[in-house]
Homo-oligomer: A and B are copies of this chain.
C-alpha cells in the first residue's frame, strides 16, 4: 500500500461524471491497483475511488498543465468497464509505501440470522400455542424466514427484519399471496417481526391484515442464556 498526501484535483468519468476541485487529500493506492481519495472528515466513504480490478498509469503533464502547477497525472482505468479516474497532482506533501500482506478478514457475529434462530427457538413469542414448522421455508419466489402454525392449526408466515420497512411488508405480501394459493398451506396468516417497525410499514401491514410484532433482541438473548443455563 502506498500513501500519498498531495494537493490534487480529481475527475471521474464512468457511471456518472464527477469532479473534485483542488485541495489537499489522502491518496491510498492499494496493491490491487485500486485507489481511494480521502478527505479529513466525513465517514468511511472516500470522496472518490476506483474499485479493482483496475490499473494505474502515471504520466507527465503537458505544457499548459505544467504552467497550471500540475506535476504528475495519474490515470486509473477499470479493467472491464473502462471507467476512468484522473488525478491531477500538484504538490506532494508525503509519500510512503508499506507491506501489509493479506488480511485474515472480519469475523462477524449475529444480526438477522441470529434473530431468526432466536425466534425459531422461542416460537411462543408469536403467541400461545404456536409451533415451528421450519426456518427458511422455500417458495417459488424465495424463502420465507419462518413458517409456523398457530393454536388453531393455521399456517403462519413470518418475515423478519432488523428494521421493519415498507419493503419487508411488500415482500411478505408476495409470499402470502402465493402461499394462500397452496391448498396444503392455506389459510396462511402473516406476521411482520422486527426490532423496530416504521409507522408507514405498520400501517401498510395492518391494512393488509398482517400482524406486527416488535422483537426485543436483548431480551431474546436473555431467554437464550437462561435456556442454556437451565438445560
Using CB atoms and an 8 Å cutoff, list the residues of chain A in contact with chain B. Answer: 1, 3, 5, 15-21, 23-26, 28, 30-32, 34, 36, 38-49, 51-52, 93-94, 96, 98-111, 167, 170
Give every chain B residue within 8 A of A102 (Cβ-Cβ): 40-41
A49-B43 contact, Cβ under 8 Å, with A18-B107, A96-B94, A108-B18: yes
Contact A36 B47 (CB under 8 A): no
Contact B47 A43 (CB under 8 A): no
Give every chain B residue within 8 A of A104 (Cβ-Cβ): 20-21, 23
3 nearest A-B residue pairs (beta carbon): A39-B103, A40-B100, A17-B109
Work out how many copies of this chain go into the complex: 2
Contact B3 A3 (CB under 8 A): yes
Q: A23-B101, A32-B40, A47-B105 are known contacts; what are 7 more A-B pairs with Cβ within 8 Å?
A: A15-B111, A16-B108, A18-B106, A18-B109, A23-B104, A24-B100, A40-B102
A106-B20 contact, Cβ under 8 Å, with A15-B111, A98-B5: yes
Contact B100 A16 (CB under 8 A): no
A12 CB, nearest partner CB in chain B, Å: 9
Residue A93 contacts which of B18, B32, B98 (CB distance < 8 angstroms)?
Answer: B98
Residue on B nearest A51 in the bound complex, by CB:
B43
Contact A25 B100 (CB under 8 A): yes
Residue A100 contacts which of B39, B46, B52 (CB distance < 8 angstroms)?
Answer: B39
Chain A to chain B contacts (Cβ below 8 Å), 26 pairs: A1-B26, A5-B98, A16-B108, A17-B108, A17-B110, A18-B107, A18-B108, A19-B106, A20-B104, A20-B106, A21-B104, A23-B100, A23-B101, A24-B101, A26-B28, A30-B42, A32-B41, A34-B43, A39-B103, A40-B102, A44-B44, A44-B49, A44-B51, A47-B103, A48-B106, A94-B98
